Amino acid sequence: MAARTASVIETWSTGLVEPERRLDYWIGAVCEAFLEMDITTQVRSGFDCSLARGQLDTIGINRVEGSAQHVYRRKASLARSTSNFYYLLCKADHDWTVMQNGHASRLRPGDLVLLDSRRCYEFNFPVTSNTLSLELPIAWVESWITDPERRIGQRIDGRAGWGAALSAFACQLTPQLAIERPLPAQVLTDQLGALLALGFGSEIPATHSERRDSADLLGRIGCAIRLRYAEPGLTAAIIAEHLHVSERTLHRCLNNAGLTFSGLLNDCRMAAARRMLSEPRFDRISVGGIGLRVGLSDPSHFIRQCRRSFGMTPGAFRRQR
C-alpha cells in the first residue's frame, strides 16, 4: 500500500563518487530507490551504474543501466522492510538468471519475471545490469492475477504470444513517460495489468471489474494519505471528502483489504520520520520538529509511535544511526 509519489524524475549515478566508493554508493542507491538488498560484483575496476525513476500513478518505473552484478534479498532484509511490492523485471540485452519461490529461471533478452519483495530472491546480471523494473502495489497485482504467489520467479516468454505483447509494451515505459503521460495514467496502468494477466495465461479474475474499482479506490486512498499525512488531525472523514466518497465507503474499502485508516496513516508518518531521522541533513531539526513535519504535534505521542514502530525513541534511533 505504501506506494510512492513523485512529479519529477529521480536519478542516482555512481559517476558522482570516487571509483573505490562506487559499489557502496550503488548499494545505498538501490536500497533507497527500491528495497534493502545486498549486491556483489566481479567488476574489479570501472564499476559504473545509474538509476532513473519516475512514478506513473501508483506504479514506479525504474530504469537501471550499468555493470554486471549479483543482487540478493535475504531474510534479514525482509525483517527490516516497512513496505513491500511486486516487481516486474525485463532485460533487453543479454541472458540473466533469477531465483525465487523455488524457481530458478534463465531469462533471455525480452523475457520478463515477477518477483515478490516479501520473499527472498536473487538475480545475476553476468554482462550488464541494464534492466526495466516496474514497482507494482500488491493490491494492484492481486486485482489482475489470480494466485500471483504461484507465478513469482517464473519466466514469462517475451518472444511469443501475450508475453511478447507484454514485453513490447513494458519496454516502452520510461521514467520520462511517467512525467509526460501521453495518455491518462489509469489507461496506461490498466493496459499493463491486462497484458500481465494475459501473459500469465489469461487468468483475469471473474470479478475483475469490481475488484479493479476497489483496488483503484484503495490506491487513491493511499495517494491521498501520502499527500496529506503531514496535516495534524488528519481524519478518515477529511480524506473521504478529498476523494468525493462517503466515509463509510472509504472504511469498507480498507476493511476489505484488511487495512485501517489509522494504520495506513501511522505507517506513512513513521516511514517519513524514519527517513528524516536516518539522514544527517535533517540533524539540525529537533526530534519535536521531526514530529511536527509528519503531522504529530504532540511530542509525547510522537515518541510513543516511534517506540511502537522502531522499538526505541526517535532520539535513540537517531543516535544509533
Give the whole-angstrom CA distance, residue 114 versus residue 147: 12
Q: At the fourth CATH level, which superfamily is domain 10-204?
A: Regulatory protein AraC (2.60.120.280)
Looking at 73-82, 103-112, 200-209, 299-308, which range is the least confident one?
200-209
Instruction: Return the DSSP state at 290.
Output: H
Is the pLDDT at 6 greater than 80? The verdict is: no
Give the whole-angstrom CA distance, residue 6 versus residue 227: 10
Task: Write down the pLDDT at residue 215.
Answer: 80
Query: Residue 51: helix, strand or coil by DSSP?
Result: strand
Task: Write down the pLDDT at residue 1.
Answer: 36
Ranges of each domain in the chain: 10-204, 208-320
Task: Write down the pLDDT at residue 83.
Answer: 85
Is the pLDDT at 79 greater than 90? The verdict is: no
- Scanning the structure block, which residue is given the C-alpha cell 525480452? 110
Task: Write down the pLDDT at residue 33.
Answer: 84
E strands present in 137-246: 155-156
Taking residues 202-213, report their average pLDDT.
Answer: 52
pTM of the model: 0.62
User: What is the CATH architecture of 208-320?
Assistant: Orthogonal Bundle (1.10)
Give the whole-angstrom CA distance, residue 109 versus residue 248: 48
Choose among 35, 29, 31: nearest CA to 10: 29
Residue 242 vs residues 130, 217, 235: alpha-carbon distances, Å: 40, 12, 11
Give the whole-angstrom CA distance, residue 103 versus residue 256: 31
**Bigger pLDDT: 214 or 153?**
153
Task: Retrieve residue 185's grid coordinates.
Answer: 495514467
Task: Write down the pLDDT at residue 146.
Answer: 74
Residue 264 vs residues 169, 210, 234, 261, 309: alpha-carbon distances, Å: 32, 22, 12, 5, 13
pLDDT tier at 145 (50, 70, 90 boundaries)? confident
Which percentage of the chain shows pLDDT scores above 90?
A: 68
pLDDT tier at 201 (50, 70, 90 boundaries)? confident
Looking at 59-68, 91-100, 148-157, 195-204, which range is the least confident one?
195-204
> What digits encode the pLDDT tens for the residues 299-315?
999 999 999 999 999 99
E strands present in the chain: 10-13, 38-40, 49-56, 59-73, 86-90, 96-100, 103-107, 112-116, 121-128, 131-136, 155-156
- Scanning the structure block, which residue is given the C-alpha cell 513494458? 170
pLDDT tier at 212 (50, 70, 90 boundaries)? low
Taking residues 167-175, report their average pLDDT.
Answer: 95
Residue 28 vs residues 37, 51, 124, 279, 319: alpha-carbon distances, Å: 9, 12, 18, 12, 20
Phi and psi, residue 12, nearest 5° = -135, 145
Choose among 117, 119, 50, 124: nearest CA to 91: 124
Task: Write down the pLDDT at residue 210.
Answer: 53
Choose among 273, 260, 185, 259: nearest CA to 229: 273
Average pLDDT, the chain: 89
pLDDT tier at 211 (50, 70, 90 boundaries)? low
Task: Write down the pLDDT at residue 7.
Answer: 63
What phi-psi label fits residue 153: left (phi over 0), alpha (psi between -120 and 50 degrees) or beta? Answer: left
Task: Write down the pLDDT at residue 62.
Answer: 96
Dihedral angle computed from the Cα positions of residues 207, 212, 215 and 221, in that order, rounded to the nearest 10 degrees: -130
Looking at 72-76, 130-134, 148-152, which range is the least confident one?
148-152
Taking residues 235-263, report their average pLDDT.
Answer: 92
Is the pLDDT at 37 greater than 60? The verdict is: yes
